[in-house]
Amino acid sequence: MNARLRELESEAIFIIRETQAAFKNPVCLYSVGKDSSVLIHLIAKAFFPLRPPIPLLHIDTGFKFPEMLEFRDRRAAELGFQLTVHRNEEAIAASMNPHDHGIGACCGALKTQALLDALEQGGYDVALGGARRDEEASRAKERFFSHRDALGGWEPRSQRPEPWFHFNTRLKDGESMRAFPLSNWTEADIWDYIAEEGIELVPLYFADVRQVKRSGEQLIPLVNTEESGEALSIRYRTLGCYHCTAAIESTASTLDDIIAETATATLSERSSRLIDHGVSTMEDKKREGYF
């Protein structure tokens, strides 16, 4: 492993162990994407040769790609993790969706509210996540340990100082923390590390001929629908809900292809995530309790 990846790995392992040591009841938010696949691999490494002592939590919006759900259950079991799945059943039963209610309301109910409910029900005081500073401008401002008030909200104007890995991890009743071991990793680091470590990913990251529909400049996947579209060689650069995750045209079907494609991409990683580009930004969602 090259020195850069090794330094990032060691930093991430430290944050993971700190999360386990400094809090009463940690959990790891597992989104099944590439970053959280790297994160759970690092959790397994952080405690090797012991079993990973931190359970996984998946927030299922009901709009996840079927391939993600199959992969989630299998990988969690293979790596020896306990897995809890939480859904906002009330909103799902009421047919919450981004087309009728708007992306902000849909994310608010199916992701943010579901996450806050799941954390409260589980009594978790800290949640690990795979977010990276390099992804998005408000995430570039995140600490390794990000304090959340009793309502789960983020206050970016009064973040805690973190000098020399001396983390102020103290919490009052009801407050909680988010922990981001991959803070300093870039998209390229994630792919290099996946290749180096042979980490298995959901096949949707690799190019294949799939059904999609054009919507402006975006290619929207066709999943669980009778609608017909066109068959194109596409892949996903990031994975979220199928309504709001655009595909990119690509023939990159191997890790080497993807590493080469990422290096020369003209658009940034999350340009295909509709959630980042509405009236309500990532910062607004984080203030409300989004990861």
CB of 131 within 8 A of CB of 29?
Answer: no
Place of tokens 């952080």: 46
Nearer to other proteins, 162 or 256 (CB): 162
Q: How far is the CB of 156 from other proteins (least distance, A)?
A: 5
User: Which of 69, 65, 59, 122 has its CA nearest to residue 91?
Assistant: 59
Q: How far is the CB of 176 from other proteins (least distance, A)?
A: 13
CB of 143 within 8 A of CB of 162?
Answer: yes
Q: Which two tokens stand for residue 192?
A: 């290099």
Decide if residue 161 touches other proteins (CB under 8 A).
yes
Decide if residue 288 touches other proteins (CB under 8 A).
no
According to CB under 8 A, which one of 10, 226, 228, 279 is a site residue for other proteins? 10
CA distance 140 to 150: 24
Q: How far is the CB of 139 from other proteins (least distance, A)?
A: 8
Decide if residue 157 touches other proteins (CB under 8 A).
yes
State how far the alpha carbon of 13 is from the alpha carbons of 20, 232, 262, in Å. Answer: 11, 39, 25
Residues in 20-79 that interact with other proteins by CB under 8 A: 20-21, 44-51, 53
In what helix (H) or strand (E) does residue 235 lie, and over which residues does it extend?
strand 230-235
Decide if residue 136 touches other proteins (CB under 8 A).
yes
Nearer to other proteins, 8 or 103 (CB): 8
Q: How far is the CB of 129 from other proteins (least distance, A)?
A: 16
213 C-beta neighbours (distance < 10 Å), count: 14
Going by C-beta distance under 8 Å and a sequence separation of 6 or more, which residues neighbour residue 10?
A: none
Decide if residue 264 touches other proteins (CB under 8 A).
no
Positions in the binding site for other proteins (CB under 8 A): 1, 3-4, 6-11, 13-14, 17-18, 20-21, 44-51, 53, 133-134, 136-141, 143, 156-157, 159-168, 170-172, 183-184, 186, 188, 265-268, 271, 281, 283-284
